[in-house]
Amino acid sequence: MLNIIDGKRISQEILMEVKTKVEELKSEGKVPCLSVILVGNNPASKIYVNNKKKACEKVGMKSEEYLLDENVSQEELISLIEELNNREDVNGILVQLPLPKHLNEKVVLEAISYKKDVDCFNPYNVGKLMQGTGTLLPCTPAGIIELLDREKIEIEGKNCVVLGRSNIVGKPISIMMLNRNATVTICHSRTKNLEDICKKADILIVAVGKEKFVKDFMVKEGSTVIDVGINRNSEGKVCGDVDYENVSKKVSYITPVPGGVGPMTISMLIKNTLIASTQQKIYIY
């Protein structure tokens, strides 16, 4: 029997849980705050930033936006980040990616205090993730874990195959699944015998950025498939990295695109902001 994992529903559940916690804090005169920095006029980035603002409003958090000119200097951007790092009324800081080419993304992200790093890009938080002791976790991978847990899909002892090795999804979700006692195989563009490896996966997580890359003959009967990809087909419609129509006939659980992993990323960002605020024990209403 096919079970479609409803990321929209689960993400709303998480937001409502966060809202309850925020209301408790408000009764004490405290409220978490997320500051988002957007450089330039990337239309997709503007949409993402607006969605984050709406999510903050939904749970009762304070949100701030800093819209910077695309020609802003590295020094000016770092100066703003340092200012936010030092503000006691800011609990989470996010720099929307991608950045213009003249800015050093690595330097910018590492400038964010690890205490306010709600995207989990700071080396300190990445190190804690590796140790299995992190509390601020990368948003998309953390969302994947939530989907599996809330659908009561067993992770421990399962064969997990991850397609993709990016720092944002592939590497961190591999570590998080390993921390949950899965046996993890990471595949990438140089992997040989990819089809054979995928066929052995109890849980297949796909994040390669290629439309309908995973076909039905590549998956195991009755397995779980998590599609992280967001692509546009020739008709301009959003689709994933998995051939959903055919793969869904063979597996037990699958995430749709859109409506699967995507909504989870923002809800986990909001949850991270709540976690960061409680760890800092700093709230200014």
- Could you give the residue numbers annotated as active site? 52, 96, 119
Q: Are 155 and 182 in contact (CB under 8 A)?
A: yes
Give all strands (DSSP E) within the chain, no chain letters: 3-4, 33-39, 62-68, 92-95, 159-163, 183-187, 203-206, 224-227, 231-232, 238-239, 253-254
Region of 132 (left: φ > 0; alpha: ψ -120 to 50; beta: rest) is left
Among 238, 184, 241, smallest CA distance to 218 is for 241
Name the burial class of residue 222, with classes exposed (0-12), middle (13-18) and buried (19+) by CB atoms within 10 angstroms of its CB: exposed
Q: How many CB atoms lie within 10 A of CB 17?
A: 14
Give all strands (DSSP E) within 25-163, no chain letters: 33-39, 62-68, 92-95, 159-163
Query: What is the rounded CA–CA span in Å between residue 178 and residue 185?
Result: 10
DSSP state at residue 216 = G
